[in-house]
A = this chain, B = another copy of it.
Amino acid sequence: MIGVAVVGYGYWGPNLVRNFADTPGARLVAVCDLKKERLASVKGRYPSIRITDDFDELLRDPEVAAVAIATPVSTHFRLAMSALMAGKHVFVEKPIASSSEEAQRLVEEAVRRKLVLAVDHTFIHTGAVRKMRELVEDGLGEVYYYDSVRVNLGLFQHDVSVIWDLAVHDLSIMDYVLPVRPVAVSATGMSHVAGEPANIAYLNLFFENNLIAHVHVNWLAPVKVRRTLVGGSRKMIVYDDLEPSEKIKVYDKGITLNGDARQAGERTYQALVGYRTGDMWAPHLDVTEALGSEIREFIGCIERSEIPAADGRAGLRVVRILEAATQSLAQRGRVIELEGVRRVA
């Protein structure tokens, strides 16, 4: 049994506690938070679990083999680094840290100590996103574009922009689904509240081939939209996360090319490009709760010394893009090259 402590019992912490409590192989040892009323709430629901407001106490506890961190982003690095240095495996909310520098140091520390470092990119454990990855691997053909819209009337935050709050989801999904990594990013956006970070933003991701990716995020939209289009040479996907059951639709649509369009005159060209319109298909999706699968994977990785789907490096790649996008947005969309992640032995 892997002993686990959950740190932070605010918005998301209760979900972690509930899922760790239900995961075979895990034993929920303690919950830590600075607020007394939250700890009392834990006690009411889980009378047998230890509660504490002393994080360092957990680190000294030999029963705690892993720490799950669900605190504000600005504290991720300090808490995760302390836990790793105390020899604990770490599961941390996304984004993994406030900067790529911090994320890089967490990755290196985990590697050095041979500890599991997982970042909670929840969406990649949903049936819908797993199905998208399958389709991209086999069925879509060459991927042409990835376009996502994630907008609603949402809670304005004043420490991070809408990019860190919403685009982080799309970037973590793309990191999991796409076969290639972006080499550069640009972003535009605007703040409509004086002195506050951007509440609307558009990100472009550039790749070495002719794949193009784009993300639209907005806290100030009248309707909620969660829709991703993925175009491939053989099939195309619409992923609508607000659909109750048919979240993934696969379209057998596209163009077919015969011969070299460059050499064709107008009349001939028209004949060279064909349009293909076939069936649409909405595969049945696994509806297991994503967070449960993810936590089972985390515990399994500790048991078998494996690497989770969203490890520290995935967390780092996403933070690197968030950082570059933020920098680009401040310069009206200047393209920022994404240097490769430094290798760790």
B335 touches A332 (CB 8 A): yes
Is A244 a contact of B261 with CB atoms below 8 Å?
no
Q: How many copies does the complex hold?
A: 4
Is A216 within 8 A of B147, CB to CB?
Answer: yes
The 8 A CB mask of A205-237 against B (1 = contact, 0 = none) is 010001110101010111110000101010011
A102 at the interface (CB under 8 A from B): no
User: Which residues of chain B are near A78, meaning CB under 8 Å?
Assistant: none
B284 and A278 contact, CB distance less than 8 A? yes
Q: Is the CB of B335 within 8 A of A193?
A: no
Which of B144, B184, B249, B260 contacts A190 (CB under 8 A)? B144
User: How many residues on chain A are close to B (CB under 8 Å)?
Assistant: 73
Whether the pair A221, B229 counts as a contact (CB closer than 8 A) is: yes
B238 in contact with A193 (CB, 8 Å): no
- State how many angstroms separate the Cβ of A218 from the closest Cβ of chain B: 8
Contact flag A275-B204 (CB < 8 Å), given A214-B216, A262-B195: no
Known A-B contacts A156-B255, A194-B260, A194-B262; A229 and B222 likewise in contact (beta carbons under 8 Å):
yes
**A273 contacts across to B, CB distance below 8 A:** 156, 193
Partner of A333, one of B145, B255, B282, B333: B333
A108 contacts the other chain (CB 8 A): no
A-B contact pairs, 16 of them (CB 8 A): A153-B254, A153-B277, A158-B261, A191-B210, A192-B210, A192-B233, A194-B261, A195-B262, A206-B332, A221-B229, A222-B229, A222-B236, A222-B251, A246-B280, A277-B284, A281-B282
Q: Which residues of A contact B (CB under 8 A)?
A: 44-45, 47, 144-145, 147, 149, 151, 153, 156, 158-159, 184, 186, 188-196, 200, 202, 204, 206, 210-212, 214, 216, 218, 220-224, 229, 231, 233, 236-238, 242, 244-246, 249, 251-255, 257, 260-262, 266, 269, 273, 275, 277-284, 332-333, 335
